[in-house]
Amino acid sequence: MYSADVAQDDYGFEATRKGPNPKIGNNQVAANFIDNLIACVSYSPYAASVALRNEESLGLTLSFKTIYNYIERGFFASLTKKDLPRKGKRSRRQYKGVRRTKRDSFAKSIHDRPKAANN
């Protein structure tokens, strides 16, 4: 018997598999390498991506944004945003006040204009 709710749930589950496969895939050596750098050595994801790029034996390059996404999605077993150097906090924009210009003290004042100009 057909049920719209069951069909919708099935569609939603199947839709989660859309998109490209993760670059790290089943490469547990690379995952452990990144996990160790961030958790034990206190590397940032950017520094870990540079170290991964320099490690030619792993044969894998990941951008720092991909590593951030993998941490948020739970690809690394023991890593969370709390393990990052800034604990997952984002920097806030620093607003500067309006800069006031100084008045020219040697300029002529409006009160110094001729009486004929007031008409």
Tens of pLDDT along 66-79? 999 999 988 888 88
- Dihedral of CA atoms 40, 44, 45, 48 in degrees, nearest 10, equals -60
What are the backbone angles phi and psi of residue 97, rounded to the nearest 5°? -70, 165
- Residue 15 in any domain: the answer is yes
Provide the domain limits for residue 69: 8-83
Q: Nearest to residue 38, comparing CAs of 64, 56, 73? A: 64
pLDDT tens track for 27-65: 889 999 999 999 999 899 999 999 999 998 888 899 999
- Residue 75 in any domain: the answer is yes
Q: Distance of CA 59 to CAs 35, 37, 44, 56, 81, Å? A: 17, 17, 20, 5, 26
Number of structural domains the chain divides into: 1
pTM for this one?
Answer: 0.63
- Residue 117 in any domain: the answer is no
Burial of 38 (C-beta count, 10 Å sphere; 0-12/13-18/19+): buried
